[in-house]
Structure 1
């Protein structure tokens, strides 16, 4: 199994994307934002936030074949995601991602727990 990239590896990926980017900086910023969120929430949560087409667009900008190689499947903050909590432990994940089940996708997260 390939070792997960550390923060320096991810920063290097971002720097490479910035160096080669040609286009709208809003797209670059959104792609980098997706990657940074995925580091802490995991790729499954990201797929519940963004459409598959948007994820493909951002991966192309970042020069990545997929998120699975660079971020965890389920990150340490995944439980804060309302969408993740709705589908966690069910077989509905890919149906939601493909749009076969509606009303689950949301970018809303709960505040950090105090204590």
Structure 2
């Protein structure tokens, strides 16, 4: 929460951007930074990371959070070597912001 407090205290700009950046951070605590990179565009991640005063998401979030398995995009990712290709947009059809309990 100290990271959020610092971001809020020093913020100037559109509050909806700050709100979205904080929301990304909170969701990232549970899903991890890899899932965030699968659901947001690189430009959005850069924007929100800058608003939060971070160099990158890795310094504040787990790589894979305890709820990552609920992310459709994470489950569609067939192997780790394709992760960065999906993030860069070189592989289509995987990005999704949907989360659900996976079938058993």
Q: TM-score, normalised by structure 2?
A: 0.94
**Secondary structure of 2:89's match?**
coil
| Bigger shift: residues 44-53 or 88-97 | 88-97
Say yes or no: does 1:105 pair with 2:79.
no
Corresponding residue to 1:32 among 2, 7, 22: 22
Q: RMSD of the alignment, in Å?
A: 1.4
1:1-115 equivalence runs, <5 A: 11-111=1-101
Structure 1, unaligned stretches of length 5 or more? 1-10
Task: Count how many residue pairs are aligned between Structure 1 and Structure 2.
Answer: 103
Contact residue 72 and residue 98 of structure 2 kept, 8 A: yes
Distance 1:112 1:85 in 2: 9
Distance 1:68 1:91 in 2: 18
Deviation at 1:111, TM superposition (A): 3.8
Q: TM-score, normalised by structure 1?
A: 0.85
Deviation at 1:112, TM superposition (A): 8.1
Poorly superposed stretches of 4+, deviation over 6 Å: none
| Bigger shift: residues 48-57 or 103-112 | 103-112
